Each structure stands twice: as structure tokens, then as C-alpha cells.
Structure 1
Amino acid sequence: MINALKMKTCVKPIALLSLVVCSASFQPIGRVPQHRTSTPLYSYLDSLQQEAPQASTQPSVAVNGAVSAPVQAEASTATPSFISEWYGDIGYFGLDNLRSKGPRPTADWGTPADATRKLADDGTLRTGSWWCSEGGWPSSNPKGATEIFYVVSGNGCLSDKDGMKHYFGPGDTVIIPKGHEGRWDVFSDIHKIWAVNAHERIEDPSPVIRVQVDGYHTFAPQYLTKNTGYDPLYSSSYEGISFNTFYDVGPTKTGVWTCGAGSFPVTNGKKSFFHLLEGVLFVTDGASGLSRRCEAGDTMMLPEGWCGHIDVIEPSKKLWTTAE
């Protein structure tokens, strides 16, 4: 049922100049959907109302940072993998596709009601989307997992146990550590993309566990580190990558990752979630031979130890979380 709701078609990957080193057999890259211009995340909700684009093509062969011309798409009969199961485009999290959970019984102002949709869950790391209308409620029970979310629209505030307030709005990334206590206030209807790491222990020993908010402006190039060794997502030495890990507590790491047009293999990828903020890229699973085109607004979860290829078609930026 979930597969039927996903809007993009998995296709066979296209031929690369370099090969993926993987224990499973890897097919030469086939054909993939055509590239369309990526839109800013701030037009996210508007784009939900637009008609879904027709499938066309764009190969992911990168030669000196350039990409070859579009070609015709072909259907795939390959075995499903995380490429098909753990991916959602902007339409997947459209407000009409979220499941209503009804009003919050503990609200002390407004009439907050929420709705949600889960994308993927491997028992430890899971991801999805959540919407809530205006209102506020106490959150006095210690949070059972560490949550990271990206605010697509709306404004709100999370308060810590001692009353310290953390305001957030569109483009902000919010981290609620496991064990946090406080309250929620939604000032205008919120829509967020979330990832949760259900790790075993509370990792923050502070008497008051605090929320962390990182604004989109902190993802600017001057705050990022050029990759000189191995990046935190793919253990790649590719020089086109820059990143910043702005949360690193116990088994949870969160940051921003950017890359110019280019291509590199992945031989031992981390268990991770990403939400693409800008650009266009392809993720290819070396085990199944499937390739997934990702555009701004798309979300994906990747399993521990996956191998394959990343092909960046347009300079890309993504929010990521790894779970160990």
C-alpha cells in the first residue's frame, strides 16, 4: 500500500565511468528519470498542489563535473530494496496523505490536533512527517528517544524543564534529546520532517536536558568544513564534499552535508536519514542495481553498511542524521 503511494519509479542505474566495489553483483547503470529544476524548500507546500511531473530521463554520468544529456527512461523489474521502500518525495508527505491523530487531550490553550505519516522504521532509526495546528500542551514525561526535525512551515516553541524557551520556524532544524522534559507551543500550524533514534540510554547527563535549534543560515559555506579525509555519511574522501556536524551526542549525530556536481562510490555507508534541502542527486544501491533520483524536498533512509554510488547532478545540500 505504501509502495503504491510513492510517486517516483525505481529504475536501473546508468553506466558510470567508475565502478562500485561491492560484495553483491552490480549492474551497469541503466536509465533514470529526467531532471527537472529543483525548487526552494520554502515553496514546499505550494509544490504539493502542482501536478506530479511526467517521468523522463537524465543520466548520472559525471565527467569533470559535467552531466550528459537526457535519455529516454526504462522501467525496472529489479528486486525492491531501501531505494524503493525507504524513500518519500514531497508528495508522500503532502498534508492530504497524513493520518489524523485527533486533538491533544492535555492541551492547555488552543485546540491542537496533529497528523502524521511514517516513511521508514528499522527498529532503531525511523523517519516520517508530522503536522499540528495551533495550541500548547505540557510535555512532562521524559522523551523516550532523540528526535531531529526540519521545519517545513509554521512557528513554535519548545521549552525546557526550567522554562528556557527555544523558538523555531521554517528552515530551522530542531533536536530534542532523549530524556527531555518541558512543553510544546504551536503558534502557527507546523509541518515538519522528522527522524528518531531510539537508542538505549539517556546520553545527556545534565540536570536539565535542553533542546537545540540550528537555523538555515548556519548551513552557509563559511560554516562548513571541506572534506580532507572521510565524510561522516559515506566515509568518502571525495574532495567536492563539505559538511558540519552540529550535534554529536552518544549514538546520534546530525549535521549538514553539501557536494558539487560529481560522482563517488560508497563501500560502507552509515545507517542514516537525510532530507534534501537543495539540488538533485542519485543514490544507487549496489546490491539491487536500483537507482533513486532525489530532489529538494525528498527524504530517504539508508541501512547500515550499504554500498553503491552517489551521483550529484546539481550542487546539493542535505540535512542528515546517523544512528549507531
Structure 2
Amino acid sequence: MTTNQTTNPSVFLDATAVLDGPLPVEISMEPIIQGAPFAYERVLYDAAGAFFAVWACDAGVYPRVKDKRGSFMYIISGEATITDEGGTSHELTAGSVIVLPHGWVGAWDIRETIRKVYLHTTPVPPYRAGVQPSAFLAAADVLERDLQLPDPAVGTSWAPPVAETVVFDGPDGRCAVQERGPGVFRRAAAKRASYLYVISGEATVTDADGTTHELTAGSAVALPDGWAGTWDIRTPIRTVHVDTAPIADK
């Protein structure tokens, strides 16, 4: 059977570029309490509702208010403390995941240069009222926790079901640490985008037009809304996986 449906291609960055590659774009860190005036980044994907990039910043203290978008982050290296306005703090180290949703208020205290993969999303109304807390998963839970398969009766667009630990699920999107076993899985065009950072494992992602990307530990891939293609997972693959909510019709 043929189809005239247009699909959107994936966008990929290999592990070398993500982990050690140059970050050519200079970003002002204002407002600054103390520390480095600029961060640096490499943009992987930039479209309506989502901005996916690799970012690094030297030591400093930076207040922040999330009044336009939410942020999902995987820490590649470095050390920092994130403190919510209410006083809750999280220690960021290599392998940890932090979500700062739309409505979050707080501050960064970077002690050792942070390098991260991050996704900004534009939340879909209705928004959560008031100041929102961060959501956090420590590195040991991201890298080492045994993940349990969900009830097979729960619906999924994949087969078999995925094992996961959910970090955040809200108007900004859904973030989880996921693991999938070997196999070949076909995905039809989806109405919401997915963004992934590979923690471990090997797989090939093939777009509908035949373009392929080799996923290994440290690589990142954006699967925009409308993407369709095939996963060929050769060894169990663990990812930080963010699904965005559908972009509101204009």
C-alpha cells in the first residue's frame, strides 16, 4: 500500500559531537549574580515548540524564571546545584536528569563547568497555576536502576512495551528514562515529537526516505512531529526520552 503522507526527517548528532565537539554559538547568561558571562552551545534542532541543543557554561550563579517555556536536561559532565524558589535543591552531576517546567523559579550554582543536552518546549494550555517545582532523577537512578516493564495491557505505540522511569509528565511534555530490548520496530507518523539522548546500547534509526543514523552511547536524535520510520535495536538501548505535547493548532 502506498501513501501520499509527508513525513519529517530525523535530525542527528553523533556521540563525538555531543560529548566533546565545539559549541560555536555564544549565549548571554544575564542576569548574573556571579561568574561566567556567556554559555556556549550547538543547536541540533530548532522549530516551532521545540529547541534541542548541546550547551556548556563555566562556574557561576544564575537566577532564572521559566515564564515562556519548559526545559528538560541531561547532564553530561560537571557539577552544579539547582535550587527552587521554595528552597528545594538538587545536586547535578554527570548522568542526572533535571526538568524545569513552565512556571519554575529558582537559581543555578555551577561549581564545575556543566555540559548538557537540553530541550526547551513551549507548553500547551492549560498551564499549571503558580510557581512549579523542578523534577529530578539522580545519576545512579538514571544510569543503574533496573527498569521494570509496564503491564502489557497498557497501550503503547511500540511492541514490546518499554521499561521506563518517568521523571516528569505535564503540559511541557513527558520525560522518562527508557530501556528497550533488541528488535525491529516500525513507527507510523506521530503527532508529537520525540527527543532522545542515548545513555547506552546500539541501534539504527531509519527514516521513511531510507536515511539512517547509528545510535550509540552519547548520541542524540530529534524525531519531529510527523516522523515515521524504523528502529533496529541490536543491543538493549537506554535513553533519556522526551515526548512533547502536540503543538496547538493556529
TM over 0.5: yes
- Mark the runs of 5 or more structure 2 residues left unpaired by the alignment: 246-250
Give the % identical residues.
19
The answer on 1:153 being equivalent to 2:77 is: yes
- Mark the runs of 5 or more structure 1 residues left unpaired by the alignment: 1-20, 26-79
Question: Which residue of the partner structure matches residue 137 of structure 1?
Answer: 62
Residue 278 of structure 1 aligns to which amino acid in structure 2?
S
Deviation sequence 1:167-211 (CA, Å, 0-9, x none) = 211100000001211211101100000011112447332x43211
Answer with 213-222 or 148-157: which moved more: 213-222
Question: Which residue of the partner structure matches residue 184 of structure 2?
Answer: 263
Deviation sequence 1:209-228 (CA, Å, 0-9, x none) = 21111023324454433462
Cα distance between partner residues in 2 of 1:173 and 1:96: 21
Distance change (3 Å), C-alpha of 1:258 and 1:23: farther
Q: Does the 8 Å contact 2:124/2:171 carry over to 1?
A: no
Cα distance between partner residues in 2 of 1:96 and 1:321: 23
Q: Does the 8 Å contact 2:198/2:217 carry over to 1?
A: yes
Cα distance between partner residues in 2 of 1:236 and 1:105: 43
Q: Does the 8 Å contact 1:103/1:111 carry over to 2?
A: no
TM-score by length of 2: 0.85
Question: Which residue of the partner structure matches residue 131 of structure 2?
Answer: 208
Q: Does the 8 Å contact 2:150/2:163 carry over to 1?
A: yes
Deviation at 1:105, TM superposition (A): 4.5
Question: Which residue of the partner structure matches residue 248 of structure 2?
Answer: none
Answer with 304-313 or 124-133: which moved more: 304-313
Distance change (3 Å), C-alpha of 1:23 and 1:225: same
Deviation sequence 1:250-295 (CA, Å, 0-9, x none) = 2510102211221122124441100011011011112x12222111
Q: How many residues end up aligned between the 2 structures? A: 242
Deviation sequence 1:27-56 (CA, Å, 0-9, x none) = xxxxxxxxxxxxxxxxxxxxxxxxxxxxxx
Answer with 187-196 or 104-113: which moved more: 104-113
SS of the residue aligned with 1:91?
Answer: helix
Cα distance between partner residues in 1 of 2:3 and 2:153: 24
Question: Which residue of the partner structure matches residue 315 of structure 1?
Answer: 236
Answer with 260-269 or 220-229: which moved more: 220-229
Give the counterpart of 2:202 among 280, 291, 312. 280
Cα distance between partner residues in 2 of 1:177 and 1:22: 41
Residue 138 of structure 2 aligns to which amino acid in structure 1?
G
Q: Following superposition of structure 1 onto structure 2, how do residues 51-66 of structure 1 map, counting pairs within 5 Å?
A: none
Cα distance between partner residues in 1 of 2:8 and 2:137: 33
Give the counterpart of 1:225 among 130, 149, 156. 149
Q: Does the 8 Å contact 1:154/1:170 carry over to 2?
A: yes
Superposed CA RMSD: 2.6
Cα distance between partner residues in 2 of 1:229 and 1:129: 37
The answer on 1:184 being equivalent to 2:105 is: no
Deviation sequence 1:28-85 (CA, Å, 0-9, x none) = xxxxxxxxxxxxxxxxxxxxxxxxxxxxxxxxxxxxxxxxxxxxxxxxxxxx9624xx
Give the counterpart of 1:248 among 155, 164, 169. 169
Of the two, which has the highest radius of gyration?
A: 1
Deviation at 1:229, TM superposition (A): 4.7
Q: Does the 8 Å contact 2:182/2:235 carry over to 1?
A: yes
SS of the residue aligned with 1:273?
Answer: strand
Question: Which residue of the partner structure matches residue 162 of structure 1?
Answer: 86
